Structure 1
Amino acid sequence: MVIDESMYVLSFLGLKNFTHYHLEGIIFEFLVFLFYAYAYLQFSKK
């Protein structure tokens, strides 16, 4: 899942305040999800 990957990346970067319980974390994960979806669509077109 993309959300799990984003959480792994966030913990890897040391940004452990960004969790599902923080509004900033939810917004950030949503942006990451949009980025993953956009990149996937761009690569799938080629």
Structure 2
Amino acid sequence: MRAMLMSMLLIIVVVTIYMNTTGGEEGTNERLAESGRRMSESVARTSP
């Protein structure tokens, strides 16, 4: 029973750390989206 509880707590901690790293205003997903917007704007400004 104790091993199962420890495993569940470990899984919860890992998922929480993952969600905090990738989500939010300064998370990885937002940084990728911002980078894509900047590249798109740069390409749009390039004159043919």
TM-score of the superposition, structure 1-length normalised?
0.51
Shift of 1:26: 0.3
What are the ranges of 5 or more consecutive residues in structure 2 without an aligned counterpart?
29-48
The structure with higher relative contact order (CA 8 Å, sep 6+) is 1
* Structure 1 ranges of 4+ moved more than 6 A: none
Partners of 1:38 and 1:32 lie apart in 2 by: 10
Pairwise CA RMSD of aligned residues?
0.7
Q: Which residue of the other structure, out of 8, 12, 19, is the alignment partner of 1:40?
A: 19
Tell me which amino acid in the other structure corresponds to 2:7.
F
Amino acid corresponding to residue 5 of structure 2 in structure 1: I
Greater fraction of residues in helix = 2
> Number of residues paired by the alignment?
25
- Unpaired stretches in structure 1, ≥5 consecutive residues: 1-21
Residues 1:23 and 2:2 are matched in the alignment: yes
- Rg larger in structure: 2
